[in-house]
Structure 1
Amino acid sequence: MRLFAAVLPPVDVVEELGAVVDRLPAGGGLRWTGRAGWHLTLAFYGDVPEATVPELAERLARAAARTGTFAIGLRGGGHFGGRFLWAGVAGETAALSRLAERARAAGRKAGIEGEHRRYRPHLTLARAGDPYDFGPHLTALDTFTGTPWTVAELALVRSNLPTSGVPGERPRYEKVGGWPLAGAR
């Protein structure tokens, strides 16, 4: 199964960002991510054998227990190579980066190779097949400052890729586990 570790924003934060995204220019070959799947990826594990999941879960539980709660919020936006539009993250980003490193380490210790990129916290909003001029989108996102929230859980999420072949179909995300951070109620 395709898995990743993530922080899932609360519903009110998703709605707040959604109100801004609804006003962004659409079309032009952009594939928008669905609000139900908005998340901050910490570690992408890829295809993980079913037999490995219990050990990964145990190691993620330990990573969560070693990480205290922290406050972040969504702010501004940017893009990666003209292909991915995203909302940025502000607040205790050093704590978020530590949690991401612990989630990557949990995967490595469970025998999962995963991806090895420098961690850059973001929430993906849209993808483009070809390089895209996100200028108007970035202008609109530039002034966005979302309500901060306390991150209190590390989630393990399954990514179910589209199988129907229907254009515009999106991946579906399913939370398969969650562990409270230290100090979370």
Structure 2
Amino acid sequence: MRLFAAVLPPPEALAQLGAAVDRLAELPGGGALHWTGRPGWHLTLAFLGEVEEDLIPPLGRALAYAAQDSAPFSLALRGGGHFSGRALWAGAAGETAKLHRLARAAGDAAREAGVEPDTGLPFRPHLTLARTRSRREEARAGDPDLGPYLAALAPFTGTPWTVSELTLVRSNPHTSPRYETVDAWPLGR
């Protein structure tokens, strides 16, 4: 199974962001971007890649312990950024140091269970909103300039919510729904 550990924002936070994204999609060139599906919006903590079925139980136990060891905290969706001019994302604000610790704990839990998370890039809290149609790592000629989208997204600040659980999510790249919750664990003891 292709898995990742994540924080799933509540429906109210996603609805606020969705209203902002609707305005973004109407900007010139919005049709040239591939907008992500709202049912799958999440903040990835640790991408685990393909995980063998027999590693799921120990992974679940390790993630449950990591969740138990992390107290709930406040977060809000805010502003945005991009990766290599190719992926547009919404950022996070609030107790982001606690989000970083939870991400580190999720990665450590995965390693403890025998799953090596992808550690190619430093953790940056983000919720992917859109991608250019280019599959290359860097933006290429013909891809839309993300600058106007970033400028329009910059003032966005969602209502804070309490992050209260760690979720293990399965990615199904070629089916619908694309993402499904495998398990979730409450934060705190």
TM, length-normalised to structure 2: 0.90
Counterpart for residue 44 of structure 1: 47
Is 2:129 aligned against 1:125? yes
Partner Cα distance (1:50, 1:89) in 2: 32
Alignment of 1:145-164 (within 5 A): 145-162=157-174
Counterpart for residue 96 of structure 2: 93
Counterpart for residue 166 of structure 1: none
Tell me whether 170-179 or 149-158 shows the greater mean CA deviation: 170-179
- Superposed CA offset, 1:142-169 (max 9, x none): 1100000000000000000116xxxxxx
Q: Which amino acid in 2 is paired with 1:61? A: A
Number of matched residues?
176
Deviation at 1:27, TM superposition (A): 1.3
Partner Cα distance (1:173, 1:14) in 2: 16
Counterpart for residue 56 of structure 2: 53
The answer for unaligned runs of 5 or more in structure 2 is none
Indicate the RMSD between aligned Cα atoms, in angstroms. 1.2
Is 2:78 aligned against 1:75? yes
Partner Cα distance (1:14, 1:89) in 2: 12
Partner Cα distance (1:93, 1:49) in 2: 31
Deviation at 1:171, TM superposition (A): 6.6
Counterpart for residue 9 of structure 2: 9
The answer for unaligned runs of 5 or more in structure 1 is 164-169
Identity fraction in percent? 61
3-state SS of paired residue (2:31): coil
Is 2:113 aligned against 1:113? no
3-state SS of paired residue (1:133): coil
Is 2:183 aligned against 1:177? yes
3-state SS of paired residue (1:156): strand
Counterpart for residue 134 of structure 1: 146
